[in-house]
């Protein structure tokens, strides 16, 4: 199924000046001490295996002695900028345990494991090539989802924090069989909302390994959330089905669980709840959303063929003729957001008038 939905490879799109200005305005564009290209100068590597002894598609890289100290120091400084105020008081308590490089996928990221030697706690950061699609995706996730996300950009380097959770494919294989019936209903509800959220903000390719499941333990139950962790396919593909996680075969166990756990009325209710939540977030951050969408409207992050296909698909799906007039992905997203907010306002007005 994916072969028909997803193009073979999405190109990386450069960060335009207007987007740089936006990122500077909202404190995302900050000078950092190390670049992606610096990490490419490794001398050797070994394969990293997962807990099952299989190739994880990551390699652990090593640097020459005269470069390692400088790279370690720069990465620790970058961690403090991302997670703190940039002061170096804690620098002496941090150590770089590992630097891994992934050759799979479009972004080819470096994953850096940073440990606090005082308490042995560790965290990860990711260093990637800056790509406009990914930046738009990260920023939309921060504004319109229930999850804040931390990232920085400087010139052609993108730094992302680690998204905590169990990757969806691992969850399906290792954890889902042990989840209670009540838990499956909660996950089903989350998948319906996640499916709707991805479609509305045009985040594509949410196959199971591109999102995580987060379990939160209450005193008498477990709550679940689904979080995207890959934003490469933001507003790029032309096929509307790409933006629905339900259409990827990797996600079939979740789709099957939804059909078995929820009635159609509940599914529709959860879709409406998610649309209303996104509409409220758009209105609550209207200036920031407008600034970001305006950047996208003056940017090129897809092909004319894909833009034309998507606007027609969305017209057929929503019956909103404004989609037909769109010339790029930014205009499509603006019409989509206006459509969601307009319908939310109309529903609220109807409820108020009929009280």
In what helix (H) or strand (E) does residue 113 lie, and over which residues does it extend? strand 110-116
Q: Is residue 96 part of a domain?
A: yes
Question: For the stretch 71-98, what's the b/e string if a residue is b when 16 or more beta carbons lie within 10 angstroms of its beta carbon?
Answer: bbbbbbbbbbbbeeeeeeeeeeebebeb
Looking at 101, 128, 161, the residue that finishes a domain is 161
The reply to whether 269 and 325 lie within a common domain is yes
The fraction of the chain above a pLDDT of 90, given in percent, is 83
The partner residues of 212 in beta bridges, in order of sequence, read 167, 227
Structure tokens at 1: 């199924």
pLDDT tens column, 291-340: 999 999 999 999 999 999 999 999 999 999 999 999 999 999 999 999 99
pLDDT of residue 272: 96
Closest CA to 211 of 250, 251, 174, 167: 167
Rounded Cα distance between 163 and 332, Å, is 28
The reply to whether 188 and 318 lie within a common domain is yes
pTM of the model: 0.92
User: DSSP secondary structure string, 46-99?
Assistant: EEEE-TTSSEEEEEEEE--HHHHHHHHHHHHHHHHHHHS-S--TTGGGEEEEEE
The reply to whether 207 and 320 lie within a common domain is yes
pLDDT of residue 107: 79
- Domain extent for 82: 15-161
Q: Are 255 and 188 in contact (CB under 8 A)?
A: no
Q: Is residue 6 part of a domain?
A: no
User: DSSP secondary structure string, 129-146?
Assistant: E--HHHHHHHHHHHHHSS
Q: Is residue 1 part of a domain?
A: no
pLDDT of residue 171: 97
Structure tokens at 333: 């997203």
Q: Is residue 78 part of a domain?
A: yes
| Confidence check: pLDDT of 189 > 90 | yes
Those residues with Cβ within 8 angstroms of residue 263's Cβ, 6 or more apart along the chain or in another chain? none
Looking at 103, 130, 161, the residue that finishes a domain is 161
Q: Is residue 7 part of a domain?
A: no
| Confidence check: pLDDT of 64 > 90 | yes
Looking at 142, 161, 180, the residue that finishes a domain is 161
Four-CA torsion 278, 322, 287, 150, nearest 10 degrees = 50
Q: Is residue 70 part of a domain?
A: yes
Q: Give me the number of domains the chain comprises.
A: 2
The reply to whether 338 and 221 lie within a common domain is yes
| Confidence check: pLDDT of 4 > 80 | no
pLDDT tens column, 142-177: 999 999 999 999 999 999 999 999 999 999 999 999
Q: Is residue 113 part of a domain?
A: yes
Per-residue pLDDT band for 2 (boundaries 50, 70, 90) equals very low
The reply to whether 155 and 171 lie within a common domain is no
The reply to whether 92 and 178 lie within a common domain is no
**What is the C-alpha radius of gyration for the chain, rounded to an integer number of angstroms?**
21
The reply to whether 28 and 136 lie within a common domain is yes
């Amino acid at each position: 199924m994916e072969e028909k939905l997803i193009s073979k490879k999405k190109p990386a799109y450069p960060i335009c000046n207007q987007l740089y200005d936006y990122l500077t305005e909202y404190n995302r564009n900050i000078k950092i001490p190390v670049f992606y290209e610096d990490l490419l100068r490794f001398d050797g590597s070994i394969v990293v295996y997962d807990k099952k002894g299989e190739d994880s598609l990551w390699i652990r890289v090593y640097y020459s002695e005269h470069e390692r100290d400088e790279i370690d120091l720069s990465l620790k400084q970058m961690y403090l900028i991302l997670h703190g105020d940039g002061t170096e008081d804690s620098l002496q308590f941090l150590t770089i345990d590992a630097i891994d490089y992934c050759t799979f996928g479009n972004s080819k990221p470096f994953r850096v494991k940073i440990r606090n030697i005082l308490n042995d706690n560790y965290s990860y950061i990711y260093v990637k090539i800056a790509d406009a699609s990914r930046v738009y995706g990260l920023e939309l996730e921060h504004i319109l989802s229930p999850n804040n996300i931390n990232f920085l950009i400087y010139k052609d380097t993108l730094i992302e924090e680690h998204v905590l959770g169990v990757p969806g494919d691992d969850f399906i294989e290792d954890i889902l069989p042990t989840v209670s019936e009540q838990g499956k209903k909660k996950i089903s509800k989350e998948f319906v909302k996640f499916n709707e959220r991805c479609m509305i903000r045009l985040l594509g390719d949410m196959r199971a390994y591109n999102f995580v499941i987060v379990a939160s333990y209450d005193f008498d139950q477990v709550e679940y959330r689904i979080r995207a962790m890959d934003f490469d396919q933001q507003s790029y593909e032309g096929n509307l089905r790409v933006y629905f996680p339900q259409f990827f075969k990797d996600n079939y166990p979740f789709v099957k669980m939804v059909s078995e756990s929820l009635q159609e009325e509940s599914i529709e209710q959860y879709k409406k709840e998610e649309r209303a939540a996104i509409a409220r977030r758009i209105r609550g951050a209207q200036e920031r959303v407008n600034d970001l969408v305006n950047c996208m409207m003056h940017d090129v992050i897809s092909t004319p063929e894909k833009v034309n296909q998507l606007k027609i698909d969305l017209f057929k799906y929503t019956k909103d003729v404004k989609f037909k007039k769109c010339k790029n992905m930014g205009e499509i997203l603006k019409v989509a957001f206006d459509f969601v907010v307009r319908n939310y306002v109309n529903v609220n007005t109807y409820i108020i008038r009929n009280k």
